[in-house]
Amino acid sequence: MFTGIITDIGKVTTLKQEGDLRARISTSYDTSRIDMGASIASDGVCLTVVGLGPDWYEVQISAETVQKTNLSAWEVGTRLNLERALKVGDELGGHIVSGHVDGVAEVVAVSDDGDSTRVTLRAPRSLARFIAPKGSVALNGTSLTVNEVDDCDFGINFIPHTKEVTTWGDVQVGDRINLEIDTLARYVARLADMS
């Protein structure tokens, strides 16, 4: 489990196709405090650590994960939002995030709004019904509040701090973004479907 509060920006340093895809990600985390088998959300995807070095970790990524996320666009140099798994007693500053990406949204508009940046994304139709104004979503692992919803499009506002401590300062129209809907929204919709 994660909170969607990004604590590091990593970078893909190597990619190898070895049956599954293997990626090495540079980090400023103290890797001596990371266990083999630990989970790290990398752009919102919960990935298992299978290798460690002084300033990097490696993950093995299944074809299913590559297909369901934006990881197929990763290349050497890609910057990633990173978050270590939640520990009992940690502050829950965002919302409960599983790291299990539901689909990929596309950035369809980016504009300045004062010092902030307003971004409009288009969700897959099958997921749009779970996105509500003032509800939570995780986008590339970042816990965010939805401003408005118009059919499959929804808007997010990024303040300067968020743009500085995440990869959201680099956002461009056409970017494919890992989308995880709020777990609570999923269960409320399931209950409504059953009644």
CA pair distance 96, 73, nearest whole angstrom: 26
Structure confidence by residue, pLDDT tens digits, 50-82 = 999 999 999 999 999 999 999 999 999 999 999
CA pair distance 112, 166, nearest whole angstrom: 17
**Domain 103-194 - what CATH class?**
mainly beta
Query: What pLDDT score was predicted for residue 96?
Result: 81
Is domain 8-84 given the CATH code 1.10.10.60 in the classification?
no
Q: What are the strands of the beta sheet with 176-181, ordered from one edge?
A: 142-145, 136-139, 176-181, 103-113, 116-122, 153-158, 148-150
Phi, psi of 127 (to 5 degrees): -105, -15
Q: What is the pTM of this model?
A: 0.93
Q: Which helix (H) or strand (E) holds 145?
A: strand 142-145
What's the one-letter identity of residue 74? W
pLDDT band at 124 (very low <50, low <70, confident <90, very high): very high
Q: Which pair of tokens denotes residue 121? A: 């994304």
Query: What pLDDT score was predicted for residue 190?
Result: 65
> Residues spanned by CATH 2.40.30.20 within the chain?
8-84, 103-194
pLDDT band at 184 (very low <50, low <70, confident <90, very high): confident
Structure confidence by residue, pLDDT tens digits, 82-117 = 999 987 777 777 788 889 999 999 999 999 999 999
Q: Which helix (H) or strand (E) holds 48?
A: strand 45-53
Query: What pLDDT score was predicted for residue 66?
Result: 95
